[in-house]
Structure 1
């Protein structure tokens, strides 16, 4: 069990998903590059830790999701002198529409929770080739479940949460893969639905690009109840746990 501080700042400004990288760049410049949590780089090196400030598109509008120390750090943006944000030529005046601040307890239990995950960068080029060679749909699904479970464990570790019981993941829907350019690589992204016994807050990012709107998780209210529980023994046979 892990209780975290959680803040969602939703703006009135509409934004395209492909503009999130530009949105981050403009926010970083407004806050100042000395505030590391806005961009996750330290002295020209990437900070290999779970992002505590994440840039999102929620209901078609720009948003920031801030966790733990990121909540304190985000004040630097609002204390900055920038009155406008330049999204590579498109200038917007940021206006806050809604603030949601709370403490959320994440836990692993016996109950299954239904989630959807959007723009999930599940497969890099190497994993994509391996996934294509899978002999059947069942093995392909298990391969993706291994990666998703690894993403969940990496997120927990990055938030200082030591999980002491088995995390169960069941992908019940996998959309068509889409080629997506990310950091000069072509990766495969998916929209998917899954069940898990881990309780997660809405809008959290999983996997590669979590800071830039990829792998955003939300409740799947339309999902049918799981038809069966996945045994921990079955999942423990899956190779590897590290997220991509």
Structure 2
């Protein structure tokens, strides 16, 4: 997971003039769903763009023969850009997703409630949080959701090292009546690769 943060640091520095690449403006961090995200998927360094972020990556292209991350040079034997248009929103069909990277669901406000809850209450709380994550993503994509989002979670807690600290994360997956783009993140720290989802075949 540290590699996703390093990848973000490289491109944020290289394209410091593009706010979408790092979500920082003249006055500091810009709090919005990141439309460009950095992650390592199955060992492959990956940039993922959505909407304006996708257009920006297409404009920038991938023309480097190598990238330099913290003094280490990595040669790019092959680089490719894939594009896809998908429906984003509530569907009649149930979709199944797996978290390819740990999901950071909890923050300082709700972690105490989670720790004090019983097993059923924990599932209810996490389900509510996941639906909130989806709605937050939809908000920043100017997507109006009028139908009810339904979710069935199947996750287990894990401990994750993040910025030198042990954090509570979750692995597993979920089913939902909401169609999401592959390889985009839900929850906290999605720009660094956390909470990455991938559709499964039912």
Task: Give the aligned partner of residue 185 of structure 2.
Answer: 205
Task: Give the aligned partner of residue 188 of structure 1.
Answer: 168
Task: Give the aligned partner of residue 178 of structure 1.
Answer: 159
User: How many aligned positions are there?
Assistant: 200
Are 2:128 and 1:158 aligned? no
* TM-score, with structure 2 as normaliser: 0.89
Task: Give the aligned partner of residue 129 of structure 1.
Answer: 112
Are 2:29 and 1:49 aligned? no
Q: 1:160 to 1:166 in 2, by over 3 A?
A: same
> Is the 2:96–2:173 Cα contact (8 Å) retained in structure 1?
yes
Q: 1:49 to 1:145 in 2, by over 3 A?
A: same
Q: What's the offset of the Cα at 1:192?
A: 2.3
Q: Pick from 134, 151, 164: which aligns with 1:169?
A: 151
CA RMSD of aligned residues (A): 2.0
Task: Give the aligned partner of residue 6 of structure 2.
Answer: 22
> Is the 1:193–1:220 Cα contact (8 Å) retained in structure 2?
no
Runs of 4+ deviating beyond 4 Å: none
Q: What's the offset of the Cα at 1:115?
A: 0.9
Task: Give the aligned partner of residue 40 of structure 1.
Answer: 23
> Is the 1:55–1:63 Cα contact (8 Å) retained in structure 2?
yes
Look at both structures and tell me which one has the larger radius of gyration over its CA atoms.
1
Gaps in structure 2 of 5+ consecutive residues: none
Q: What's the offset of the Cα at 1:78?
A: 3.8
Gaps in structure 1 of 5+ consecutive residues: 1-16, 224-244
Task: Give the aligned partner of residue 141 of structure 1.
Answer: 123
Q: What's the offset of the Cα at 1:162?
A: 0.6
Q: What's the offset of the Cα at 1:100?
A: 1.6
> Is the 2:62–2:80 Cα contact (8 Å) retained in structure 1?
no
Kindly provide the CA deviation profile for residues 122-162 of structure 1, in whole angstroms up to 9, marking residues without a partner as x. 1124422221100x211111111111110000001111101
CA–CA distance in structure 1, aligned partners of residues 38 and 77 of structure 2:
15
CA–CA distance in structure 2, aligned partners of residues 192 and 126 of structure 1:
23
> Is the 1:180–1:189 Cα contact (8 Å) retained in structure 2?
no
CA–CA distance in structure 2, aligned partners of residues 71 and 111 of structure 1:
26
Q: What's the offset of the Cα at 1:83?
A: 4.5
